[in-house]
Chain A
């Protein structure tokens, strides 16, 4: 019997081909469980669909969702019109829409049970592969693929080789999943995982919450990888069960073929930070401690959950934001917004001088220049991209919510001075 890695297994289950067609670098057509688009790309997908498939219905209106999440305030008339185009098309074709303020589409998919382990979903978001944290083969796709998929329910995929990554050891606060993700990004970028999938193993995985697993998987894109998977386990099954979905645990076959096996030593891992001009320019935080920072943003699909905001609130409690810093928080979803209201974190952060903005993407996808802005403001975010010139003309650093909060108090890159517990 043929043995498969996780991604091979998921693809096999959704492709109308024999087992012998499932091998690395072969291209196969897959049947999609879900196709999504948002206010970035969505309007163009609709234009392409209507122009090329005039009068056609979608392949299945119940397997499409629009998730506008990029421009929460429809910053200008063009954005407002684009968002309207999505609403009109969704209504015409009876397609589900999670409108502005609902949150980041990729997060809504697993928070609201729109997709589950073993599914293949594509959307206009290069970080759809965070869904690998929950056994879902999520992939970002461009306008053409999405318009085609809305018509046919299919897409093609070049089956990637898989790298088995074993995380050896454990770490303690103030090191968090973001530091782990940054360290792993650095190592995997150096190793070279372009076009490859990753499976994560190691005892540490048993301790990581769903949110932490999402953070870990969220930086695979920045190493040009296809996806990182945390194989289903009890934590995954319990999570799905809570939102009313019973899953069949999906595992790689024991003798599955990996292109390589990498052991990364994370025992007593320190804190890490991505420095300009690329996400993979990851350094130990000690190398940049004391760098003045002017704007700080906690948000994004990488670190915008209520657990991330809670990490920051614990440090900010009883402290004031440095007067030289503008501090913005963009919760990932409405559900996260509700949580931080109920547990008091929102009040703590407001009293410290932080500001909240509507749930959705923060600075990565489209940039919210009012949060970073100007010509000289140096920014630190908990997001996933700091490519030079992307979200502000000046330097941008990427770090954990813990580092973001400590830095907000100091006005310069810092680690927490006092031990706080979650």
Chain B
């Protein structure tokens, strides 16, 4: 990730209140290998059950309100990293999910109004981290996002929280 901008194609999963049990079901919790987690992502989310088998490498996921609410399970983050998802932009995130993602080096961007943003699958998006703005390069539309806190960027730049632990 460049420090200033992130460019990637969009993948829309605009659903509110997606619980971790809809991202990675509790019956699978003894699975920890990222490649084994990968095919199960959204396995319990109506309308998106085929996501696990799709190729969304290098994309930015767009989600609704309270994404990732529910349990503390790390697999609900690991699975998106296994899919090669670059970042997730959402209306809002469950607080535990937010920290789990940052700790694993997955950038989450809060953008109230993103559900109404004019964007479709595979549009080319740009996240301008310095200006806190998201731009759809295909139609020129833009939307403000919350400023990404510096400590969050530091953790992601370090390659995740565990790396910081080596020197603390």
Which chain A residues in 171-195 approach chain B with CB under 8 Å?
A: 194-195
- Is there contact, CB below 8 Å, between B165 and A224? no
Contacts of B73 in A (CB 8 A): 40-41, 142
Bits for B93-114, please: 1 = Cβ < 8 Å to A, else 0: 1111011100110000000000
Partner of B162, one of A41, A52, A389: A52
- Is there contact, CB below 8 Å, between A156 and B99? yes
Bits for B128-162, please: 1 = Cβ < 8 Å to A, else 0: 00000000000000000000010110010000111
The CA-CA distance from A225 to B94 in the complex, in Å, is 8
- Is there contact, CB below 8 Å, between B71 and A151? no
Known: A144-B162, A390-B19. A224 touches B95 (CB 8 A): yes
- Is there contact, CB below 8 Å, between B74 and A142? yes
Contacts of B70 in A (CB 8 A): 126, 221, 385, 387
Which chain B residues in 1-45 approach chain A with CB under 8 Å?
A: 17, 19, 21-22, 25-27, 29-30, 32, 44
The CA-CA distance from A225 to B168 in the complex, in Å, is 30
The reply to whether the CB of B72 lies closer than 8 angstroms to some CB of chain A is: yes
The reply to whether the CB of A270 lies closer than 8 angstroms to some CB of chain B is: no
The CA-CA distance from A124 to B20 in the complex, in Å, is 14
- Is there contact, CB below 8 Å, between B99 and A145? yes
- Is there contact, CB below 8 Å, between B27 and A367? yes
The reply to whether the CB of A148 lies closer than 8 angstroms to some CB of chain B is: yes
- Is there contact, CB below 8 Å, between A27 and B149? yes
Known: A82-B30, A144-B100, A144-B162. A280 touches B17 (CB 8 A): yes
Known: A41-B74, A143-B74, A145-B100. A151 touches B165 (CB 8 A): yes
Partner of A44, one of B32, B66, B166: B32
Which chain A residues in 243-262 approach chain B with CB under 8 Å?
A: none
The reply to whether the CB of A292 lies closer than 8 angstroms to some CB of chain B is: no
The reply to whether the CB of A152 lies closer than 8 angstroms to some CB of chain B is: yes
The reply to whether the CB of B65 lies closer than 8 angstroms to some CB of chain A is: yes
The reply to whether the CB of B83 lies closer than 8 angstroms to some CB of chain A is: no
The reply to whether the CB of A278 lies closer than 8 angstroms to some CB of chain B is: yes
The CA-CA distance from A222 to B17 in the complex, in Å, is 9
Classify chain A's interface size.
35 or more
The reply to whether the CB of B115 lies closer than 8 angstroms to some CB of chain A is: no
Partner of B165, one of A152, A369, A389: A152
Known: A145-B100, A148-B103, A389-B21. A53 touches B166 (CB 8 A): yes
Contacts of B32 in A (CB 8 A): 43-44, 47
Which chain A residues in 226-258 approach chain B with CB under 8 Å?
A: 226
Contacts of A366 in B (CB 8 A): 26, 29
Contacts of B57 in A (CB 8 A): none
The CA-CA distance from A141 to B98 in the complex, in Å, is 10
The CA-CA distance from A152 to B95 in the complex, in Å, is 22
Contacts of A152 in B (CB 8 A): 165, 168
- Is there contact, CB below 8 Å, between B21 and A278? no
Contacts of B152 in A (CB 8 A): 27
The CA-CA distance from A151 to B161 in the complex, in Å, is 11
Contacts of A141 in B (CB 8 A): 72, 96, 99-100
The CA-CA distance from A389 to B20 in the complex, in Å, is 12
The CA-CA distance from A52 to B27 in the complex, in Å, is 27
The reply to whether the CB of A69 lies closer than 8 angstroms to some CB of chain B is: no
B77 to A: closest C-beta gap in Å: 7
Partner of B96, one of A48, A142, A156, A390: A142
The reply to whether the CB of A125 lies closer than 8 angstroms to some CB of chain B is: yes
Partner of A195, one of B74, B98, B104, B160: B98
Question: Taking beta carbons and an 8 Å cutoff, which residues of A are in contact with B?
Answer: 25-27, 40-41, 43-44, 47-48, 52-53, 78-79, 82, 124-126, 139-145, 147-148, 151-152, 154, 156, 158, 160, 194-195, 221-222, 224-226, 278, 280, 365-367, 369, 385, 387-391
16 more contacts with CB within 8 A, not counting A144-B104, A144-B162, are: A27-B149, A48-B162, A126-B70, A142-B73, A142-B99, A145-B100, A160-B95, A194-B92, A195-B95, A221-B69, A224-B66, A365-B26, A365-B71, A367-B26, A389-B25, A391-B26
Question: Which 4 pairs of residues, A with B, have the shortest CB-CB distance?
Answer: A142-B100, A143-B74, A144-B103, A142-B74
Provide a sorted-by-A list of 30 A–B residue pairs whose CB atoms are within 8 angstroms: A25-B149, A27-B151, A27-B152, A44-B32, A52-B166, A53-B166, A79-B30, A82-B30, A126-B96, A139-B96, A140-B96, A142-B99, A144-B104, A144-B160, A145-B99, A148-B161, A151-B165, A152-B168, A156-B99, A156-B155, A158-B98, A194-B94, A221-B70, A278-B17, A367-B26, A369-B27, A385-B21, A385-B70, A387-B70, A389-B22
